[in-house]
């Protein structure tokens, strides 16, 4: 059992959709993740449990076992609450998302960390690296290419994945990478990536429209 599992057992965690979830307040959740990152040689994988993941794991036993080994934060929108209520599952009601939690975590980590960003779309990965480098400039942000072996150690690796299949491929690629924490963001960081890519597209269009005096 990893460090997250030990914490959850010791704190008698809440069960949601048959899975143990970290039903904590923001500061406690961020503090827990910071502590897990500092545990050298003990990797923890964090995921966000939304309605899609909760329903899928009920039908896919292997996916259920996969999630059961992770540190889970309750996520999702109103549909998640409706599903939980319909199944008579109670929890504190606090919901997290990659879009809010990842930036908050990078800000919360005051000491300089090496942050890897992994995925399959290099354009998105570079856009996310630039975005978070501006958001938390004291960290070192490094893109992990999908087709290259990386030997260095990371404090945190953020996984950008458009689908469960992509997430599994990236996770296999990361199996040999040394890190204290892997954050499975899914496609939850799309807003940040699109914003950067859209700005780049506008700049390219503007440069092409300038008159030439050659």
Residue boundaries of the structural domains of the chain: 1-96, 101-199
What is the CATH topology of the domain spanning 101-199?
Answer: Rossmann fold (3.40.50)
φ, ψ of residue 172 to 5 degrees: the values are -65, -40
Distant-in-sequence, close-in-space partners of 147: CB < 8 Å, separation ≥ 6: none
Q: 80 in helix, strand or coil?
A: helix
The confidence score (pLDDT) of residue 179 equals: 92
* β-sheet bridge partners, residue 141: 115
Give the pLDDT band (50/70/90) at residue 129. Answer: very high
pLDDT tens digits, residue range 30-58?
Answer: 999 999 998 866 889 999 988 888 888 88
Can you name the residues that pair with 176 across neighbouring β-strands? none
Residues 6+ apart with CB under 8 A from 133: 139, 141
pTM of the predicted model as reported, rounded to 2 decimal places: 0.82
What pLDDT, on the 0 to 100 scale, is given for residue 10? 40
Answer yes or no: is pLDDT of 69 > 80.
Answer: yes
């Amino acid at each position: 059992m990893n460090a997250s599992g030990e914490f959850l057992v010791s704190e008698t965690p809440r069960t949601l959709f048959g899975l143990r979830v970290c039903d904590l307040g923001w500061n406690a959740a961020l503090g827990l993740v910071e502590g897990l990152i500092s545990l050298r040689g003990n990797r923890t994988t964090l995921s966000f449990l939304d309605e899609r993941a909760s329903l899928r794991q009920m039908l896919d036993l292997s996916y259920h076992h996969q999630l059961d080994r992770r540190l889970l934060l309750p996520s999702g929108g109103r549909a998640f609450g409706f599903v939980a209520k319909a199944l008579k599952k109670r929890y504190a009601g606090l919901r997290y998302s990659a879009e809010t939690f990842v930036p908050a975590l990078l800000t919360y980590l005051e000491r300089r960390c090496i942050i890897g960003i992994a995925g399959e779309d290099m354009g998105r990965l570079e856009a996310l690296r630039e975005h978070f480098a501006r958001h938390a400039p004291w960290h070192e942000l490094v893109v992990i290419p999908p087709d290259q072996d990386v030997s260095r150690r990371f404090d945190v690796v953020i996984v950008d994945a458009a689908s469960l299949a992509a997430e599994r491929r990236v996770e296999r690629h990361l199996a040999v990478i040394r890190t204290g924490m892997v954050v499975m963001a899914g496609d939850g960081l799309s807003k940040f990536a699109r914003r950067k890519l859209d700005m780049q597209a506008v700049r390219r269009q503007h440069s092409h429209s300038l008159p030439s005096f050659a």
